[in-house]
Amino acid sequence: MSGRDRETRERLLRAAERLFAERGFRRVTVRDICRRARANVAAVNYHFGSKLGLYREVLQYASDALRATTDEARRAGEGCAADEQLRRFVHVYLRRLLAGGANGWIHRLINQEMADPTPALDTLVEQALRPRIEYLSRVVAALLDCPPEDPRVRRSVASLQAQSVAYLPNPLAARLGMRATTSPAAIDEVARHIAEFSLAGIRAIGALPPRP
């Protein structure tokens, strides 16, 4: 591949990332992507085979980034007790999620894919989301002293994830006076709150008598 071809391919990927994150797969046309990338309308087929081929590559990049966050959090918690593993996961995850930067489009893309799934959904689930849920399930199961398949584990993991994404900037939060959390100090403070709130909740659930 020539240097010019590599440059065009990169422009197509960067343009597609933003457009797919803004509108979803079905509401973006090849012409839209090529116009934003300043490329010939045939460039998508030339480099990726089709719009779906380009989308799969964009979603693969997003999946790799999510998997890297999980791997970083797992390494941060190696050798620690389960409560500290949870704390470190939340801190790593929040920093990646809320700091924005070059990968700020990834969560918007995932929301689009969840709202209107494409044939590429399995890539996201198997390569990015399932490893994260399995890791968190093992941590929560250790805290509850129960198997990872216990329904209490799944519900606790869902609550933990929901608290984190609630701090993403959004129009509703802005209108309700909840300021965006983007500075390192603010992110760390939110991470501490989510971790301690979650640990307290998990301990409370573990102390409840078994349901008949």
Do residues 21 and 108 both lie within one domain? Answer: no
Looking at the chain, the whole-number percentage of residues with pLDDT higher than 70 is 95
Query: Sign of dihedral through CA atoms 96, 97, 99, 102?
Result: positive
pLDDT digits 0-9 by tens, 5-64: 899 999 999 999 999 999 999 999 999 999 999 999 999 999 999 999 999 999 999 999
pLDDT, residue 100, reads 67
212 occurs within a structural domain:
no
pLDDT, residue 48, reads 97
pLDDT digits 0-9 by tens, 72-131: 999 999 999 999 999 999 999 999 988 766 678 898 999 999 999 999 999 999 999 999
Q: What CATH number corresponds to the domain at position 135?
A: 1.10.357.10
Do residues 27 and 122 both lie within one domain? Answer: no
- What are the E-state strand segments in 67-188? none
Confidence of residue 180 (pLDDT cuts 50, 70, 90): low
Do residues 44 and 63 both lie within one domain? Answer: no
Other CB atoms closer than 10 Å to residue 80's CB: what's the count?
Answer: 13
Number of domains the chain is built from: 2
| Range(s) of the domain holding residue 76 | 59-207
95 occurs within a structural domain:
yes
54 occurs within a structural domain:
no
Does 70 have pLDDT greater than 80?
yes
| pTM for the structure as a whole | 0.88
Q: Name every residue whose Cβ is closer than 8 Å to that of residue 195 and which is 6 or more positions away in sequence.
A: 86, 87, 90, 91
Do residues 140 and 121 both lie within one domain? Answer: yes
93 occurs within a structural domain:
yes
Among the residue ranges 103-117, 143-157, 171-185, 197-211, the one predicted with the least confidence is 171-185
Do residues 95 and 18 both lie within one domain? Answer: no
